[in-house]
């Protein structure tokens, strides 16, 4: 955690371990329930295991951390000498994680600023990094919150999925849209918008969808300085090809993160997911 301001996020940020350690960011895990067994994301269930369960059509759901888990992390921050906590989380449209953090923050032994970033995956992760950078530069908690909010406003995230069925099952997209996609055998391109998931475009094949995802990412990146993240679930070759192409074609690319999403997001998108997060500096 940071020195005078501790930065907390949750496991759906999918920040690289090296970044968590370097910036002393604590990620509170969400839970995945497979066949009734509750498993901690990141430690008790891996992305490949989740993908296998989904392919086998086993029942998979997700659940938020309890307030007590956040309370323990906030106590640890106070005991380590922090004067305040900035706790940054995935969109409240997707999960009750934000609400659990708010409940815990009310009883914490130090001021806790809980932020609904409206994002997920590295759209959340880049916000946590912005807050950590601010705190490490000597900013107070409110300035770190402002840095995270500014990053959230600028960051754009786009996703390709092979099917909308997993999002429909999890209530993350309307049944009518999902059924229409299945009926027309189209491949959907999605975007994060106002804290939710919106259907951006529909294409006929996976190949066309991935090419269009690249073009959309290029348009979003523009000519300025940006950090990028490419996510996938059980589609490493797709992700690597996209990352290599973007690294060559985006003129102002800084950091490039390529990672497999964890079980919580994977449960709602299904195998074959490829996503791009564009974070202007």
Identify whether residues 112 and 24 lie together within a single domain.
Answer: yes
**What is the predicted pLDDT for the residue at 267?**
84
Say which CATH number the domain at 237 has: 3.30.1180.10
The range of the structural domain enclosing residue 147 comes to 5-30+65-152
Whether residue 212 sits in one domain with residue 113: no
Say whether both 186 and 243 belong to one domain: yes
Indicate the residue among 129, 152, 175 that finishes a domain.
152
pLDDT of residue 167: 74
Closest CA relative to residue 120, chosen from 269, 220, 1: 269
Q: Is residue 37 part of a domain?
A: no
Alpha-helix residue ranges (DSSP H) falling in the chain: 17-23, 47-55, 67-79, 97-106, 122-136, 141-154, 165-169, 175-184, 206-221, 236-249, 263-269
pTM, full prediction: 0.91
Task: Please give the pLDDT value at position 45.
Answer: 87
Same domain? For 98 and 10 the reply is yes
Does residue 109 have a pLDDT over 90?
yes
Domain count, the chain: 2
Q: Same domain for 18 and 111?
A: yes
Confidence check: pLDDT of 204 > 90: no
Give the pLDDT confidence score for residue 2 in this predicted structure. Answer: 43
Kindly report the CATH number assigned to the domain that includes residue 118. 3.40.50.10170
The pLDDT assigned to 59 comes to 86
Residue 28 scores a pLDDT above 90: yes
Q: Give dist(CA 128, CA 121) in Å, integer.
A: 11
Q: Is residue 239 part of a domain?
A: yes
DSSP-derived 3-state class of residue 96: coil
Report the percentage of the chain scoring pLDDT > 90. Answer: 70
Same domain assignment for residues 175 and 243: yes
Is the predicted pLDDT of residue 147 greater than 90, yes or no? yes
For residues 131-140, average pLDDT:
96
60-74, 111-125, 157-171, 172-186: which has the minimum mean pLDDT? 172-186
Which residue, 132, 152, 172, sits at the end of a domain? 152
**Residue 143 and residue 14 in one domain:** yes
Last residue of a domain, one of 119, 152, 185: 152
């Amino acid at each position: 955690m940071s020195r005078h301001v501790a930065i907390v996020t949750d496991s759906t940020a999918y920040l690289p371990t090296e970044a968590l350690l370097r910036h002393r960011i604590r990620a509170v895990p969400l839970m995945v329930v497979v066949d009734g067994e509750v498993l901690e994301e990141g430690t008790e269930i891996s992305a490949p295991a989740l993908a296998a369960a989904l392919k086998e059509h086993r029942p998979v759901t997700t659940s938020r951390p309890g307030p007590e888990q956040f309370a323990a992390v906030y106590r640890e921050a106070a005991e380590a000498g922090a004067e305040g906590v900035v706790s940054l989380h995935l969109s409240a449209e997707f999960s009750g994680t934000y609400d659990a953090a708010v409940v815990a923050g009310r009883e914490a032994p130090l001021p806790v600023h809980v932020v609904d970033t409206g994002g997920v995956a590295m759209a959340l992760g880049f916000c946590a990094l912005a807050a950590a950078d601010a705190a490490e530069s000597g900013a107070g908690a409110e300035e770190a919150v402002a840095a995270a909010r500014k990053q959230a406003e600028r960051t754009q995230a786009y996703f390709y999925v092979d099917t909308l069925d997993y999002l429909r099952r999890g209530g993350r997209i309307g049944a009518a849209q999902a059924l229409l996609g299945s009926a027309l055998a189209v491949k959907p391109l999605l975007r994060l918008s106002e804290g939710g998931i919106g259907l951006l475009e529909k294409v006929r094949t996976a190949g066309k969808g991935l090419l269009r995802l690249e073009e959309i990412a290029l348009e979003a990146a523009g000519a300025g300085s940006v950090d990028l993240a490419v996510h996938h679930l059980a589609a490493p070759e797709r992700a690597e090809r996209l990352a290599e192409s973007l690294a060559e074609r985006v003129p102002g690319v800084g950091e490039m993160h390529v990672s497999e999403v964890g079980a919580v997001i994977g449960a709602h998108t299904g195998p074959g997911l490829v996503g791009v997060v564009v974070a202007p500096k």
